[in-house]
Amino acid sequence: MDARRLEVEWLDELPAEDPRARRSRADLRRVNAIMGNARIVAGALGGTPQSIVDLGAGDGAFALRLARALPAPPSHVTLVDRQRIVSEETLRGFESLGTQVAIAQHDAFDWLERSDDDSGFVAARFQTAAGEVRID
């Protein structure tokens, strides 16, 4: 069996304003909405964690949808991504829920090694070699 290689995600290499990156992020938002991923994760949690960490958060849209889908919004969300691309609109969305947001511009693995965060839930969506998306 061939060994798997971990490679940098394409979106991490493109400038945030690149039209291809913008289209790709829009596609991800649509796929997550169509599949109901935030609703599925919220249901699986069975309640509201006090805080959430979203690894590979991108623009933060999934974490905001998740916070809105929970029975009550979390008090704190940390968005971890290599690029700082969270929009003011997304930040206002969290603010309207009363959720404090921290943005950490780091590689997810580096952040995990350094962080002393003890969040109730960590969402991680990584593209695997087989092309599937995992939510843990």
Assess if residue 120 is contained within a domain. Answer: yes
| DSSP code string of 70-129 | SSS--SEEEEEESS----HHHHHHHHHHT-EEEEEES-HHHHHHH-----SEEEEEEE-T
The CATH number given to whatever domain includes residue 46 is 3.40.50.150
Residue-range definition of the domain harbouring residue 112: 10-135
- Tally of domains in the chain: 1
Weakly modelled stretches of the chain, pLDDT under 70: 1-2, 4-10, 118-121, 123-136
Per-residue model confidence (pLDDT) at position 123: 67
What pLDDT score does 121 carry?
62
